[in-house]
Amino acid sequence: KMPRKARIDVENYWYHVISRGQRKNPLFFSNEDMQQYLLILADLLLKFDIILGAFCIMRNHVHLLLFRRNDSLYSFMHLLNTRYANYFNKKYKLVGHVFQGRFLSKIVLDARYLNYLVYYIHKNPQKAGIIKEGEIYQYSSEKFYITGNSDIPIREVPTWEDNLDNGNIHLSEKIEKNIFHENYVGTDKMYKFIEKRKSGREKEKYIERRNKPNMEDEFKKLNIFSLSDLEEMRSSKRSKILVKKRLIFIAYMYKKNYTITEIARFLNKGTTTIYNYIMKGKENNDK
């Protein structure tokens, strides 16, 4: 099993956070459930050094725009989702997961994108057909942006004009180290900017992958397999001889710097299957 990517949790940045119901199941069966989620959210905002900039609660998912100051975003979200899950399971006499895995968090690296995020979050109910254009959804922060009134602690997100002097938000060294995790959002210019910041090693790997010979040509170079062997390797058969052939071919291609995904596509297999073959080959070599 491949390890999960470490999430970015750096202070003094905005994050677009999304939590979804397990297997797209509802998180909220009633308005009372939504109110309870907001009560928990409001309570935690008073206890954590985190600012809420926008929110929208839908039936099977939640959008939050949060500014992470001195307290961990992960700790905040973990406690929020845990407390609500406990309420939900107790009320409906259920067991098991309420949320679909970990919450999704994307760091915002472009000040101008903040305005679009607020717009996007507030337009979710209209896009889903819950309200008509011009109506205000009860369980979002849109009312606060129109009237200035809110039942929970919230602060208006700075506008693009407020950030003109800063341009794109400065990238800290902590983010630089995690930039390849791709859990960020911004404009095309920001993506191009990040691309330029890739290390020389990453560029070398990219050029190496781009200039790799065709996999079928590599297969022919081995001179130990026939086309019928390839057809068998792509099949679901699992004889001892066939497993051995797959081990030899996968080990050879892996040493040639082909990725697990590329080998999996060539052999019509899942990436987990190829990974297991590679691990098995390493075990055999160690014996």
* Neighbour tally for 135: CB within 10 Å: 11
Report which DSSP code applies to 60.
S
Q: Over its length of 287 residues, how does the chain's per-residue pLDDT go in tens digits?
A: 445 555 678 888 889 999 988 777 888 888 999 999 999 999 999 999 999 999 999 988 999 999 998 888 989 999 999 999 999 988 888 877 888 777 888 888 776 677 778 888 998 898 888 888 888 899 999 989 888 888 899 998 876 445 434 434 444 555 444 444 444 555 444 455 445 544 444 444 444 444 556 777 778 777 788 888 888 888 888 888 888 888 888 888 888 777 777 788 888 887 778 877 877 776 666 55
Q: Which two tokens stand for residue 97?
A: 């997961």
| Residue found by looking up tokens 């600012």 in the block | 51
Of 259, 286, 260, nearest in space to 273 by CA: 260
Measured CA distances, 262 to 29, 56, 118, 213, 255 (Å):
43, 39, 39, 12, 13
Q: What is the pLDDT of residue 37?
A: 94
Continuous H helices in 15-71: 31-47
Mean pLDDT computed over every residue of the chain:
77
Q: How far is C-alpha 253 from the chain's CA centre?
A: 29
Q: Which two tokens stand for residue 265?
A: 């596509």
- Tell me, what amino acid is at 163? N
| Residue found by looking up tokens 């081995």 in the block | 222
